Structure formats: C-alpha cells, structure tokens
C-alpha cells in the first residue's frame, strides 16, 4: 500500500511538471533554430535561440528587435524589425531612412550592403497599420519584406533575445 502511494505521488509530480512545461512552451518561451544565413553576422546557421512569446502581449515590437514570425503554415522566419506601422522606409547609398530621416544601424558590420529601394517601389507609401517591415542582417541573401511584403503583427510569434547554443556563442540581446 505504501509503495502504491509513493508511485502515485511520483506520477502526480511528473504529470504536473509536464503540464507546467507545456504551458510555458505554449504561451511564454520556446526554442527555435536559425536556418540559413540571412541574419549573419548577428546570428549563424544552427544557432539555437529562445523565443519570448509573452513580450508582445504586453508591449509592441520596436525598431531593430529580432523577431520570429510565421511565413507560412510550415515555416517561420527570423528577421530584424526595420520599419514600424505608418513609417516610410528607404535605403539610399547604403543608408537607412525612416520618414526621410537617416537612422544608424549599429548592429551592421562594414561588409553588409543594402541595395537602394523605397516602399513606393514595393507598392506601399508607408508600412501599413498592423504590419512591420522586416529585413535580415545579411541583406544580399535575405528573403524579407522587400520580397514578401510587410509582415502582419499578428503573425509575429515573439522576440528572440537569447542565443543559448552553441555554448561558446551564448548571447543576450539587450535594448539600448
């Protein structure tokens, strides 16, 4: 009788742990693996990150946040927020302009080049309400809002503030 009670207590504890882990993964945090080179040099192919799903339930995305969003039912993308709703976005001579004003991209290395474009060429005057304009850091090899259009905010899974693997590359991205 005593052994049965001990097994029952262990079973309840394990079940509770599985339920708590499931809730945390479903609503708060989940792992994601970087697939491809579109975010180099910031993120490398194979980096493992944590997606904070809760962040945008209480705040809104900010410029230069690294976000995960649903591209399709089978595929998620990781990109950087460049333009926010209501803003015009343009690049000229490798300089980002938001609403006609130059904006520095401190995360960019010197070897990253962005071809000239503006939203008008893509069929928009400004980033539509409820959408974000996102780009990969490796602009030459990134399939991003220049190709797929602005991303609906409701498709954003969350922010990716932490690389946890490989161990030697552990990094927490902070807002400055």
Residues annotated as part of the active site: 38, 79
31 beta partners: 50
Number of residues in the chain: 176
CA distances from 134 to 14, 163, 172 (A): 41, 20, 20
Report yes or no: 68 and 77 within 8 Å, Cβ to Cβ.
yes
- 3-state percent breakdown (helix, strand, coil) of the chain, nearest 5: 25, 30, 40
């Amino acid at each position: 009788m005593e052994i049965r009670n001990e097994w029952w207590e262990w079973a309840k504890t394990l079940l509770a742990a599985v339920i708590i882990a499931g809730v945390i993964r479903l609503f708060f945090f989940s792992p994601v693996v970087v697939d491809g080179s579109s975010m180099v040099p910031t993120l490398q192919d194979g980096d493992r990150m944590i997606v904070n799903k809760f962040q945008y339930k209480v705040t809104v995305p900010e410029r230069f946040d690294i976000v995960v969003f649903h591209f399709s039912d089978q595929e998620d993308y990781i990109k950087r927020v460049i333009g926010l709703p209501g803003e015009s976005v343009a690049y000229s001579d490798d300089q980002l302009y938001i609403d006609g004003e130059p904006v520095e991209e401190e995360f960019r290395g010197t070897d990253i080049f962005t071809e000239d474009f503006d939203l008008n060429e893509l069929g928009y005057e400004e980033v539509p309400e409820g959408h974000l304009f996102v780009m990969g850091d490796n602009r030459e090899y990134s399939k991003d809002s220049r190709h797929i259009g602005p991303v609906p905010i409701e498709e954003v899974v969350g922010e990716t503030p932490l690389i946890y693997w490989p161990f030697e590359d552990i990094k927490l991205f902070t807002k400055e």
